[in-house]
Amino acid sequence: MKFWFKYISIGLIAALVYLLLWSDAPVSFELRQWLANRLVFSVQPQPTLEPKIDSVLQASYADEIAQTAAAVVSIQTVFNKGTLSKNPNPTSLDDQYLVNVGLNVGSGVIIDSRGYVVTNYHVIHNADSIKVQLSDGRQKIASVIGSDPNTDLALLFIDLENLPTPRTNEQRQVRAGDIVFAIGNPYGQFDQTVTMGIVSATRSVRTDFPIYQIDAAIHPGNSGGALINAYGELIGITAQQLATRNESAAQTGIGFSIPYPVVKSIVDDLMDDGKISRAWVGFRGGILNERGHQAFAPPQSNFGEGIAVTSVEAGGPAATAGLEPGDFITHINDILITSPNQAFEIISNAKPGDSMNFTLFRQKEEMHLSLTVSEAPRVRQ
């Protein structure tokens, strides 16, 4: 009896081990679950945490874009109107000459509800006639109030009522990495087209004014359109896109926009008397990254304060005063500088003949320079 009990027990144990470890039979799964519930502490599944609302990527910016898009207009210009040339292949006596009419297309932004429209200078340069079409379909021949080739800006006037204007917020700082949207009229056929990108960099070019480098596509016909931020606020006027010989402009991902503070300053001057008398000091500068700030800025300067001089124009006021590339400017007229835009605003508010005082650091040694503001040289038209 003991013999049979021993072998029966061994057989049952072997069968149990088989059921627990190797068998795929349903009874095996039930047995494993039964043992797990009694021999192993159960672990309650952790609840899935929902992401915070402000960390979720916004799915649409349609409402923000709509706040400014209505103020973006299409512009068509006619130049060389009425120029005649001999027809090489006339078909009749009435077909001896051809009338040459040049056309150009661009975009613009209604900057003032009284009828003022800002666009690029190169869009309306040499135009005999300028037609503006609003987003609601209204059309009007525009007159030129004035232009500034230096900044590639021009101010037009249209005699219409109930004009929409864009949202603006000069207190909001524009930084590399900000989401932006370009709104315009590419190729003169696709009005109210929106392209998306980011601010790639903020730079200083030519005569002391900053510019935004962006990667949003700017096609022919977009020039003069609006650049807005993710809040629907106008932050600049699109100017141009860099293109190489074998690439279209939109392929490079390098476009430029004139910052709104520059636009506002030029527009205000042109509204005054149609002319620009711009203060000029003759240097270019920009903000530094954290490593650059540590290399050039004094120890007491916080990151984000001050601008570095990148170049100085020969014969200009800055060069005459002794400013050099590599100098780190912390104050202009005792005002702490925190961005190229702020430096531009201070300089643009001065008049030719005014004195300006600079506090700067050269190789981390404090220096003070004074210079006399000149009138900005004009770009040949």
Q: Which residues are catalytic?
A: 122, 152, 223
Structure token pair of residue 125: 């340069």
| Cα→Cα distances 133→68, 151, 185, 192, 240, Å | 16, 24, 10, 11, 21
Q: Rounded to an integer, what distance in angstroms lies between the CA atom of residue 345 and that of residue 260? A: 11
User: CA-CA distance, 181 to 58, in Å (whole number)?
Assistant: 14
Q: Which residues contact 109 (CB under 8 A, 6 or more apart)?
A: 71, 72, 73, 117, 118, 119, 166, 224, 225, 226, 234, 237
Which residues does 24 contact at the CB level (< 8 Å), separation at least 6? none
Sequence-distant (≥ 6) Cβ neighbours of residue 120 within 8 angstroms:
106, 152, 153, 154, 223, 224, 237, 239, 240
> Which residues, other chains included, contact 54 with Cβ-Cβ below 8 Å and sequence gap of 6+?
none
